[in-house]
Chain A
Amino acid sequence: MSEQNTSATKPLSEFIPEVPEHNGFHKVVLELGVANHPGVMSHICGLFARRAFNVEGILCMPVGTGSTSRIWLLVFEDQRLEKMIKQVEKLEDVLYVNKHAGEHPVFGRLDEFFQ
């Protein structure tokens, strides 16, 4: 899901220092409780993708008996985030959305798998 700007749109990129896309924005962790069935990820990721809202990281596992899942999303808090959250909350399969600070440990512990 992580989509950096491609060099095709920046032909001079090799001469210009790479600037992170969301420079200046804080990272935020979103916790979503969702119904567990095939298609839920499609609904949620599609919602972000068609608004060109980058998702930096995604984790999803079933919870308890498996009727629901929990999805963790790592995103940048740009000015559209509150509107995004309202759209996510509207999805029929989304049961709740909690917003956490970017320092939430859920993604931090995964660092070693991405070295």
Chain B
Amino acid sequence: MMQMTGADLIVKLLERQGIRTIAGVPGGAALPMYDALSKSEQIHHVLCRHEQGAGFIAQGMARVSGRPEVCLASSGPGATNLVTAIADAKLDSIPMIALTGQVPLSMIGTDAFQEVDTYGLTIPITKHNFLVRSAKDLLDVVPAAFRIAMSDRPGPVLIDVPKDVQNQMVSFEDYPDVVVPDAAPSFDIAAVEEAAKMIEAAERPVLYLGGGVIHSGAAHMAVTLAEQASLPTTMTLMALGAMPMDHPLSLGMLGMHGARYTNYVLEEADLLICVGARFDDRAIGKTAEFCPNAKIIHIDIDRSELHKVKDAHVAIAGDVGQVLSELLPRVKPQLRKRWLSHVESLKGRFPLAMPGVDNPRSPYGLIHAVANCLDDSAIITSDVGQHQMWVAQAYPFRRSRQWLNSGGLGTMGFGFPAAIGAALAAPDRTVVCFSGDGSLKMNIQEMATAAQENVNVKIILFNNQSLGLVHQQQSMFYGKRIMASRYERPTDFLKIAEGFGMRAVDLDPVPNPRATLAEALNTPGPCLIHATIDPNEFVYPMVPPGAANSEMIG
């Protein structure tokens, strides 16, 4: 018979699930859990400077490891500060466990100090959530949270634990079993056969890969399918890296900032094979005009995604890796010379224009200069904005989980703490965070965390003293009325980084920015690399919001 407090039990159950790092911020209602953590020899607690940073550090770890990682916060403002990071994990299907302290059970509903309805607040932004009412329930709740977070379509799970439940003694015979993901749902082989026939019969098929391919660990199978059936392949923002960007069948990213030829190829497709993607509006533009002539095969583990935006002719609810392994032996090898040479000619006529790619002081040039200093083992994160789209267009991603970014929620402030998390999960890798001056300021306090943990994270700061993508949209669609998208006062980011104890280098004044960049990237430890970018550099092409993908500007 074992006996311990609820808080000690939580820590033991986390340890049993293999958790080695937790990102968090303590506070009154979480103190018993922190006391329990002080006794753990397995778990390293990373003290963040803001709970949102803790949420994104946990996400960064989870996006690299592919398994649930944990963030911890206190009640009230601690919990509300986590909300953005939880919502972000929901939209990108990232397995995460958010643990929050809560006021004692007897005080719930009394507007107690630092009380907020964390359970109610997080219902729409979690895959599932729990308010724990007795310490004994933790024996079920904690394993269930891990199981739910990593089974089927992954997602965030929140466990809200009142302080008295953390302190309550609980007796039990044995620890619950360590949980593993549930078996994926079984699917209809007849539908797989039908899909294989459609692929064989198609003349102008396109493979459309989404983040589900990464989650399922199925990138190599997707590439094999493309090669076997000669399928030009496009990727969503979340799937970049699933097929190497330099693969002859790669069309790069589709959608709002995809290359012209990519969207034109989709326009001509007679069959769209959508694998682990969800027809997001930024990817497909105006729904009715997306792939207007194509039949659709849709493979996704989440049944509710099938027929949600576009009706599929064949819809298969299953793990994409398992479905692809059934599909591959049924798909006949084809050369499709005519279609591939047509795609090649579209690519030649409407390529992605990358002006300034040879100039490291321009956006594309800086991205290429960074890539030239790194190999495929590096992890690349980005914040949200112009820099994110330039990196998505131009960085030579070549493997799954190489690219971490906030796709669904589009959260400025994601990139830097996610990079810290990535570096904690993969300490032997170089982690580069492309950021903008607007985004970086949104979680800049985590520079202190990066310095404390001495993580190998390099921030490449594209500083245009603007909210660039807002500035761009106001310039293009709002009569050049620039409203609230220019920062009038410059910020000295170098001093800020140094003030937090981080090294900082400025590419602006140096005669050879490539050499300075290489030196900074190859020196271990956190570093801010600053570069001024012209605020009138826009991301092209661009599909106006609400327009069809064929209506690209630029």
Instruction: Check B131 against A86 for contact (C-beta < 8 Å).
Output: no
A93, closest chain B residue (CB): B128
Residues 32-49 of chain A, each 1 if its beta carbon lies under 8 Å from chain B, else 0: 000000110011001000
Q: Find chain B residues with CB under 8 A from A93 CB.
A: 128
Partner of A92, one of B119, B120, B128: B128
User: With contacts defined as CB atoms under 8 Å apart, how many contacts are there between chain A and chain B in the complex?
Assistant: 27
Interface centre among B119, B123, B124, B302 (most CB of A within 10 A): B123
Q: Find chain A residues with CB under 8 A from B303 CB.
A: 86, 89-90
B366 at the interface (CB under 8 A from A): no
Instruction: Check A43 against B123 for contact (C-beta < 8 Å).
Output: yes
Q: Find chain B residues with CB under 8 A from A42 CB.
A: 119-120, 123
What separation, in Å, do the CA atoms of A10 and B123 have in the docked complex?
32
A50 at the interface (CB under 8 A from B): yes
With A39-B119, A92-B148 in contact, is A86–B124 under 8 Å at CB? no
Q: Find chain A residues with CB under 8 A from B304 CB.
A: 83, 86-87, 89-90
Q: Find chain B residues with CB under 8 A from A87 CB.
A: 304
Q: Find chain A residues with CB under 8 A from B124 CB.
A: 46, 50
Instruction: Check A83 against B308 for contact (C-beta < 8 Å).
Output: yes
A111 to B: closest C-beta gap in Å: 32
B157, closest chain A residue (CB): A92
A84, closest chain B residue (CB): B304
Residues 295-324 of chain B, each 1 if its beta carbon lies under 8 Å from chain A, else 0: 000000011100110000000000000000
Tell me the interface secondary structure of chain A in the complex.
Answer: helix
Interface centre among B119, B124, B304, B307 (most CB of A within 10 A): B304
What separation, in Å, do the CA atoms of A91 and B126 have in the docked complex?
11
A46, closest chain B residue (CB): B123
A42 to B: closest C-beta gap in Å: 6
Q: Find chain B residues with CB under 8 A from A86 CB.
A: 303-304
Q: Find chain B residues with CB under 8 A from A89 CB.
A: 303-304
B152, closest chain A residue (CB): A90
What separation, in Å, do the CA atoms of A86 and B307 have in the docked complex?
11
What separation, in Å, do the CA atoms of A5 and B262 have in the docked complex?
45
Q: Find chain A residues with CB under 8 A from B127 CB.
A: 92
A67 to B: closest C-beta gap in Å: 13
What separation, in Å, do the CA atoms of A50 and B522 have in the docked complex?
49
The contact size tier of chain A is 10 to 19
Residues 71-115 of chain A, each 1 if its beta carbon lies under 8 Å from chain B, else 0: 000000000000100110111110000000000000000000000
What separation, in Å, do the CA atoms of A58 and B172 have in the docked complex?
39
B117, closest chain A residue (CB): A42
Q: Find chain B residues with CB under 8 A from A92 CB.
A: 127-128, 148
What separation, in Å, do the CA atoms of A86 and B304 have in the docked complex?
5
Q: Find chain A residues with CB under 8 A from B302 CB.
A: 90
B148, closest chain A residue (CB): A92
What separation, in Å, do the CA atoms of A42 and B128 have in the docked complex?
12
What separation, in Å, do the CA atoms of A93 and B126 have in the docked complex?
13
Residues from 297 to 354 in B contacting A, C-beta threshold 8 Å: 302-304, 307-308
What separation, in Å, do the CA atoms of A90 and B302 have in the docked complex?
9
B129, closest chain A residue (CB): A39
Q: Find chain B residues with CB under 8 A from A38 CB.
A: 131
Q: Find chain A residues with CB under 8 A from B131 CB.
A: 38-39
What separation, in Å, do the CA atoms of A77 and B131 have in the docked complex?
33
Residues 277-311 of chain B, each 1 if its beta carbon lies under 8 Å from chain A, else 0: 00000000000000000000000001110011000
B119 to A: closest C-beta gap in Å: 6
A86 to B: closest C-beta gap in Å: 4
B109 to A: closest C-beta gap in Å: 11
Residues 18-40 of chain A, each 1 if its beta carbon lies under 8 Å from chain B, else 0: 00000000000000000000110
What separation, in Å, do the CA atoms of A90 and B307 have in the docked complex?
15
Q: Find chain A residues with CB under 8 A from B128 CB.
A: 91-93
What separation, in Å, do the CA atoms of A38 and B119 have in the docked complex?
11
Q: Find chain A residues with CB under 8 A from B308 CB.
A: 83
Q: Find chain B residues with CB under 8 A from A46 CB.
A: 123-124
Q: Find chain B residues with CB under 8 A from A91 CB.
A: 128
Residues from 55 to 70 in A contacting B, C-beta threshold 8 Å: none
What separation, in Å, do the CA atoms of A19 and B404 have in the docked complex?
50
What separation, in Å, do the CA atoms of A112 and B308 have in the docked complex?
39
What separation, in Å, do the CA atoms of A61 and B303 have in the docked complex?
29
Residues 368-411 of chain B, each 1 if its beta carbon lies under 8 Å from chain A, else 0: 00000000000000000000000000000000000000000000
B56 to A: closest C-beta gap in Å: 24
What separation, in Å, do the CA atoms of A46 and B121 have in the docked complex?
11
Residues 192-223 of chain B, each 1 if its beta carbon lies under 8 Å from chain A, else 0: 00000000000000000000000000000000
Q: Find chain B residues with CB under 8 A from A50 CB.
A: 124
B136 to A: closest C-beta gap in Å: 14
Q: Find chain A residues with CB under 8 A from B119 CB.
A: 39, 42
Q: Find chain B residues with CB under 8 A from A83 CB.
A: 304, 307-308
What are 11 inter-chain pairs, A to B, with CB distance below 8 A?
Answer: A39-B123, A42-B119, A42-B123, A46-B123, A46-B124, A83-B304, A86-B304, A90-B302, A90-B303, A92-B128, A92-B148
Which residues of chain B have a CB within 8 Å of any CB of chain A? 119-120, 123-124, 127-128, 131, 148, 302-304, 307-308
* 10 A-B pairs with the lowest CB-CB distances in the bound complex, closest first: A86-B304, A92-B128, A46-B123, A87-B304, A90-B304, A43-B123, A86-B303, A50-B124, A42-B123, A92-B148
Other than the given A38-B131, A39-B131, 10 more pairs (CB < 8 A) read A39-B123, A42-B119, A46-B123, A50-B124, A86-B304, A87-B304, A89-B303, A89-B304, A92-B127, A92-B128
